[in-house]
Amino acid sequence: MPPFVAFIGVILIWATTPLAIKWSSMGAGFLFAVTARMAIGAVICMLILMAGRSRIRHDSPARKVYLAAGLGIWSSMSCTYWGSQHIPSGLLSVIFGLTPVVTGVWATWLLRERVFTPFRILGMGLGVLGLSLIFREGLGYRQEYLFGIAAIVAALALQSFSAVWIKRINAGVSGFETTTGGLLVALPLFLLSWWLVDGSFPLQMEARAAWSILYLGIFGSVIGFMLYFTLIHAWPANRVALITLVTPVIALMIGHLFNAESIGLYEWVGAAVILAALVSYVYGDQLVRKAMTQES
């Protein structure tokens, strides 16, 4: 698949995923919702393999990629689904917009990349300020709101660590193989978590919740992950980071239009500061170098 097509697909899926996650837990419980989603995704991947009479790689580097992807999916999605119950869906996307910043911090440690340039340091500082403003808005709400934001921040850190881990392994595994292997690692962990914490099937489920689980199982778990991992392998990190500049704004509008979600003043300001952080972190040094080249 051409990377640009994958890029557009990820934007559309990621912009609608936060609200779908919120809807999928209504009447079903967040652990059942995320487990059902991953089960659907894993089954679809296996059916694709069977239809093509193929299989994913099983060598040692590939297994390491599957482990990194699977642990990342399980840990980050568990936090995301829990946290999404307590905050507006649009804020979920805004916080995840800091993925390039957090990924850069992990890359400094695991990949020995040079991250601490002036504009990247500025981006990190603005990111912290943006999150602080969002937390500041949460002080006027119930305690669960703050815990929800903290859970999404934890999910962001875990997902970013997983992506850098995959980059470090550098096994040349395709996006589909990474998705399939990751889901096969994550699914038993989701089933165990659901069984230990809840273990019951919902007696009643809203149609909106059922359709959301199906949508997330097909697009969020399979197509979305495939496109995302394809971009990780095909594009440099700063280009992939464009996704995180676009999706928060779209997700905020979707949450407002379709779920009547209200966003407070500090949340809007925090979201704007986070977007400024992304611009500074991803493109600040690049724009300065370009300007200096033109002057010379």
d(CA 186, CA 294): 49
**pLDDT, tens only, 225-260:** 778 777 877 777 667 767 877 888 888 889 988 998
d(CA 154, CA 168): 21
d(CA 267, CA 92): 11
Give the angle subtended at the CA of 113 by the CAs of 107 and 114, to the nearest 5°.
120
pLDDT of residue 80: 96
User: Could you tell me the two tokens for 186?
Assistant: 């994550």
pLDDT of residue 76: 96
d(CA 287, CA 234): 23
SS3 2: coil
Give the angle subtended at the CA of 145 by the CAs of 141 and 147, to the nearest 5°.
135
Cβ(248)–Cβ(67) below 8 Å: no
Give the number of other Cβ atoms within 10 Å of residue 146's Cβ: 17
Beta strand spans in 18-77 (E): none
d(CA 8, CA 243): 8
**Averaged confidence pLDDT in the chain:** 87
pLDDT range class, residue 193, cuts 50, 70, 90 = very high
**pLDDT, tens only, 102-160:** 888 888 888 877 767 888 888 889 988 988 888 776 666 677 888 999 999 999 999 99
Rounded alpha-carbon distances, angstroms, from residue 8 to 13, 144, 225: 9, 34, 13
What is the number of structural domains in the chain?
1
pTM: 0.86
* Residues constituting the chain: 296
Give the number of other Cβ atoms within 10 Å of residue 140's Cβ: 9
SS3 114: coil
Supply the DSSP string of 254-279, one letter for each residue. HHHHHH-----HHHHHHHHHHHHHHH
Q: Tell me the residue range of the domain where 235 lies.
A: 3-295
What is the percent of the chain with per-residue pLDDT over 90, rounded to a whole number? 39
Mean of pLDDT values over 186-206:
90
Mean of pLDDT values over 189-215:
91
pLDDT over 90 at 190, yes or no: yes
pLDDT of residue 141: 67
